[in-house]
Amino acid sequence: MKKLTIYLLTSTFILVGCSGGGGGSSPLVNPGPTTPTYTYKKVDERLSEGTASSFTEVGRSLIYTYSSDGGGWASTDADNFNINFSQGTDSYGDTFFTIEINQNEPRDSFTYALNYQFSFRGNDVFELYDAPQFSNISEYFSNADLQAYGLSNPDTYAGVEYVDMIIWNMNYDNGEDDYVAFAYGDKTNSGDMPSTGSATYDVKTMGFWNNNGNQYNFHGDGQLIANFASMSISGNLLNDYVTDSRFSWSQLVGYSAGGMSLTGDISGSSFSGDLTWANDLGTGSFEGNFFGPNAKEIGGTFWAAETDNFYYNNIIGSFVGAQ
């Protein structure tokens, strides 16, 4: 849970009765309510000062499981999705940044538990946040390997300072895959949200596209428009930069992970809604938060699947952007 420091400037007024020869009393002037002040910290500020535990996140997972007869299921869920951040310095003086994810998803006859705790240390922390444009980290385990992708220099690439995003894929030796996408930062306080007018956000996306057994990575861009008077949000995303390598962002020319049309509602400083994918090939949903002062920035996640082919053609990703 993100902590916001709120300074309420209050004053105490004491009415003193006066008496005297023929004198009248002066009316008490009510200065009216004070305006609260909301304090925010940029992502790199929290990382530098060691307060990453104050990040607020929005995320979801896409889970693939397989059976011995070639069947299986895929499921995406944003409910009960919990992320905790922590950081510190180990006994060798190396900085570590830990991301812990917990989600238990009920199925027909069992509960699928998605529980991770990864610590990125030393150069990994640097690579995840400061490498040119895109960066990836590879971690290998006895039964799986992890690929984590982050934006580097998000301020110059996406124009954001109060929000960032990460996607990752855990690929197991038995063919199972867990895909995770999330955005995080200093969420706008609901009292700091505009109540009139509208704002246009230029956004950047990144994610995974699974198409008939092939996994692709992608990134793209688009625009979202928030109408604060009607508490609605809408826009379009185009995920047209696709690569088939887990270790490179070299483009596959002629491939596109499809465009998206989004329509949703704003509640407090969060939003959610539905989307159509790739010219009505499929449908899905999106959710997110406003970040920074006065809803300056935006971040969230999305997923979609082909209507008649959910298991073999689907997409999951994150987005961030700024006014």
pLDDT in tens, 44-99: 898 888 888 899 988 888 877 655 444 555 666 666 678 888 887 777 777 777 88
> Confidence class of residue 273 from pLDDT cuts 50, 70 and 90?
very high
- pLDDT, tens only, 221-257: 999 999 999 999 999 999 998 987 665 667 888 899 9
What's the first-to-final CA gap in the chain, in angstroms?
25
pLDDT at 47: 82
Tokens describing residue 60? 């979801």
pLDDT at 12: 23
> Confidence class of residue 21 from pLDDT cuts 50, 70 and 90?
very low
pLDDT at 77: 64
> Helix, strand or coil for residue 156?
helix
pLDDT at 117: 72
pLDDT at 36 over 70: yes
Tokens describing residue 26? 């002066």
- Please state the rounded mean pLDDT for residues 19-24: 48
> Helix, strand or coil for residue 74?
strand
Domains and CATH numbers, the chain: 5-322 (2.40.160.90)
Q: CA–CA separation, 209 vs 314, rounded Å? A: 6
- pLDDT, tens only, 127-149: 443 333 455 566 666 777 877 88
Tokens describing residue 268? 């407090």
Determine phi and psi for 179, rounding to 5 degrees: -110, 135
pLDDT at 173: 81
Q: What is the dihedral of CA 104, 309, 260, 105, to 10 degrees?
A: 0
For 9, 28, 33, the CA distances from 12, given in Å and listed in that order, are: 10, 13, 12
Tokens describing residue 61? 């997972």
- pLDDT, tens only, 166-202: 888 888 887 778 888 999 999 999 999 999 999 999 9
